[in-house]
Amino acid sequence: MKLGIAIKDTWSFFTEIYEDLKQRHETSLFKPRQIKAPVISRRVNDFLFRRDLQAFLRANDVVFFEWGSDFLAAASQLSKTCGIITRIHRYELYTWADRINWDVVDKVILVSKAKQREFNARFPAHAAKTEVIYEAVSLDQFHPGPRKFSADIGTLCHLVPRKRVYELILAFSELAWHEPGARLHIGGGPKPRFKDYHAALHSLVRELGIQDKVVFYGNVTDPAAWYRNIDIFVSNSYSEGLQVASIEAMASGCMVFSHRWEGADELLPEDCLYYTDTELVQRIRDYCASAESERQRRRDGLQAAARQRFSVDVTKAQIRRAIDEVGAGLGGSARPQGALARHAG
264 pLDDT above the threshold of 90: yes
In terms of domains, do 179 and 255 share one?
yes
The tens digit of pLDDT for each residue in 288-341 reads 999 999 999 999 999 999 999 999 999 999 999 999 999 998 444 434 444 443
Look over the chain and give the mean of its residue pLDDT values, rounded to a whole number.
Answer: 92
In terms of domains, do 48 and 193 share one?
no
Range of 7's domain?
Answer: 2-136+311-339
In terms of domains, do 105 and 50 share one?
yes
Q: What is the CATH classification number for the domain harbouring 81? A: 3.40.50.2000
In terms of domains, do 320 and 294 share one?
no
Exposure b/e, 74-108, CB count within 10 A at least 16 = b: bbbebebbbbbbbbbbbbbbeebbeebebebbbbb
Report the side by side order of strands in the sheet with 2-6: 26-29, 2-6, 62-66, 83-88, 107-110, 130-132
In terms of domains, do 80 and 57 share one?
yes
In terms of domains, do 196 and 250 share one?
yes
The tens digit of pLDDT for each residue in 196-253 reads 999 999 999 999 999 999 999 999 999 999 999 999 999 999 999 999 999 999 999 9
DSSP 137: B
Supply the pLDDT for residue 334.
38
Q: What's the pTM value of the predicted model, to 2 decimals?
A: 0.90
C-alpha 184 chain-centroid distance: 23
CB atoms within 10 A of CB 305: 17
In terms of domains, do 158 and 285 share one?
yes
In terms of domains, do 71 and 192 share one?
no
The tens digit of pLDDT for each residue in 121-147 reads 999 999 999 999 999 999 999 999 888
In terms of domains, do 291 and 171 share one?
yes
Mean pLDDT of 113-118: 98
Tell me if 303 is assigned to some domain. Answer: yes
Tell me if 345 is assigned to some domain. Answer: no
Q: Give the chain's domain count.
A: 2
Tell me if 147 is assigned to some domain. Answer: no
Distance, in Å, from the CA atom of 213 to the CA atom of 25, rounded to the nearest integer, reads 51
In terms of domains, do 167 and 296 share one?
yes
In terms of domains, do 315 and 257 share one?
no
Distance, in Å, from the CA atom of 201 to the CA atom of 207, rounded to the nearest integer, reads 10
Tell me if 275 is assigned to some domain. Answer: yes
Give the angle 239-159-220 at the CA atoms, nearest 5°.
Answer: 115
